[in-house]
Amino acid sequence: MLQTARSFKHRLKVTYPNGEKNVHSKSIVSFIVLALSSSALFAETLPLKSVNKAGAVIDAAIAAHGGAENISNLKTVVRKSDFTNIATGQSRKPGPPYDRNQAWNFNAIDLEKDIFVAKNKGEGGGYVFKQGTVINGQNSWQLDYRAGTAAPIAEPDFNTQSGPFVRVTPVLLMRQLQSRRNTSNWLGEADLDGRKHDVITLVMEVGPALALYIDQESHMLTRMERVLPPFGQVEYRFLDYTMVDGIAFNQKFQLYVNGDDNLIIDIKDTQVNVPLDDYLQVPSNLDKVAAITPAEFGSQEIDEGVFLIGGNGTYSLFVEMEDHVVAIGGTQTVPASIKEMRKEIADKPIKYGVLTHHHSDHVPGAAAYAEEGATIITFEENRQVVLKAAGNDQAKLEFVEDRMTLTDGDRTIELYNIGPTPHAENILIAYLPDQGIIFEADHFPQPANGMIPPAVPATAAFARRLDELNLEYTKLVGAHSPRVASPEDVKKAIGYKSASTVGGQQ
């Protein structure tokens, strides 16, 4: 506005050369008054209106969930819950009805000291688990009760680790709104189950933005949404509120992925402002092992022309053939892995992209393979899942039944369907006979370092199939670890006894 006023003054001087001082001064005063008046009329621009409206909705929601003072004075929360996981996109078969798995979950959070504890146990998808995480600054641990180990966490991240718990606990979302309200916007109104809701945004420290649905009458949070590419939309439902020490807590929670049931949480017990000291100790019956450190994204050459590429728990295998490349694995890091592969193999196209199975975390790479013009190798039963992941109905597909061989006359890759297993009805492994290498997905869980854990049912099924196929190998690599294992590691896993039974609660 000041620049406009200066320009206006300059024009007045030109128009009124005689007595311009008095004339332009009065005119500028009039102009500024007019400009300020106009500014007042249009001060609430759409962005400002959005922020102001969000602020009013936030204030009402905070009051309804217990009030600003109670929520500000909330120091710790401890919850015990039963989980029912509907394995959408993670069942043994690609379509419904989806498998259902049960789990027990414990969470404790200290909001002042950035402490978070999570423990869970259960089974499903060929896995049996009993584990825990303690985030407590430099005294942070990853606990594996079945393996009997406790590994220090070298780079603990309170916000990332506690985020899933915060997102299913409305009062913790209200605290986020208290401290981050200036980043929130009002998106509009929505009708849910015949009730009007205001929709506002929340941007947490980590993760994509959230859309919170606040009931206009009760001012309670009833629903939340966020988008997680490439998986789609995740929807949260908060149900059955009750008051605990003057603060509203939901007693039930439901999660949907792209409209399909995914998770049901029944909260069994909630405590607030209780000390967490007893939850921070490493049980004496667990052996302390090497620290867990994040794996940087990169490439390791397993054998000449055979590269395991990835990082942070997600890997693919790239095999150099005479005039092309075969890529094995379909996780969402495939595009980045292809770029990394080009540093090693710059001049050969990817001819085949092999997807091990249909699970939602193992098919996103189909889009990158389709863009490369590669033929995607999968099972006939997975056709629709793969085409959807590829985002291209014209993507080139080739189907395996029990076995397929890819060769250039010199190097050979054998693909075997080792299904059915407790994890998937159909699942491929890749075997390089001349190099003695096997690549697998989800059947031999192994940490990046430390002890190989006791075998889960999926591992036992995997080991039986290797024996039946009589495959001679010296190196075993997988889609979720940079570690190169051996046949001896598989034998040890099968022979281990769990350090604790799944039935007990820690």
DSSP symbols for 136-148:
-TTS-EEEETTTT
Compute the distance between CA of residue 104 and CA of residue 122 in angstroms, rounded to an integer.
6
Nearest to 134 by CA among 292, 253, 267: 292
Residues above pLDDT 90, as percent of the chain: 82
In sequence order, which residues have a C-beta less than 8 Å from that of residue 490 and are 6 or more positions away? 444, 459, 462, 463, 466, 476
Per-residue tokens: 107? 């969470």
- Dihedral sign computed on CA atoms, order 33, 34, 35, 38: positive
Torsion of CA 309, 310, 316, 318, to 10 degrees: -20
Compute the distance between CA of residue 408 and CA of residue 416 in angstroms, rounded to an integer.
18
The long-range contacts involving 301-306, CB below 8 angstroms and separated by at least 24 positions, are 301/344, 302/435, 302/437, 302/475, 302/477, 302/484, 303/432, 303/435, 303/437, 303/475, 305/345, 305/411, 306/432, 306/435, 306/437
Burial 167-198 (b: 16+ CB within 10 A, else e): bbbbbbbbbbbeeebeebbbbeeeeeeeeebb
Q: What is the DSSP letter of 349?
A: -
Model pLDDT, residue 491: 95
pLDDT less than 70: residues of the chain: 1-43, 497-506
Q: 463 near 443, Cβ under 8 Å?
A: no
Fold for domain 298-495?
Answer: Metallo-beta-lactamase; Chain A (3.60.15)
The model's pTM is: 0.84
Q: 214 near 173, Cβ under 8 Å?
A: no
Angle between helices 457-469 and 487-495 (to 10 degrees): 130
- Helix and strand element counts for the chain (H, E): 11, 27
Query: Where do the structural domains in the chain lie, given as residue ranges?
Result: 49-288, 298-495
In sequence order, which residues have a C-beta less than 8 Å from that of residue 194 and are 6 or more positions away? none
Model pLDDT, residue 59: 98
Model pLDDT, residue 43: 60
Compute the distance between CA of residue 347 and CA of residue 204 in angstroms, rounded to an integer.
43
Model pLDDT, residue 28: 40
Per-residue tokens: 163? 């985020």
Angle made by CA atoms 358, 362, 363, in degrees to the nearest 5: 70
Per-residue tokens: 504? 């007990």
Model pLDDT, residue 449: 73
Angle between helices 2-15 and 20-41 (to 10 degrees): 150
Architecture per CATH, domain 49-288, reads as Clam (2.50)
- 236: phi then psi, degrees, rounded to nearest 5: -110, 135
Q: Do domains 49-288 and 298-495 have the same CATH topology?
A: no
Model pLDDT, residue 22: 43
User: H/E/C letters for each residue in 317-335?
Assistant: EEEECCCCEEEECCCCCHH
Model pLDDT, residue 92: 97
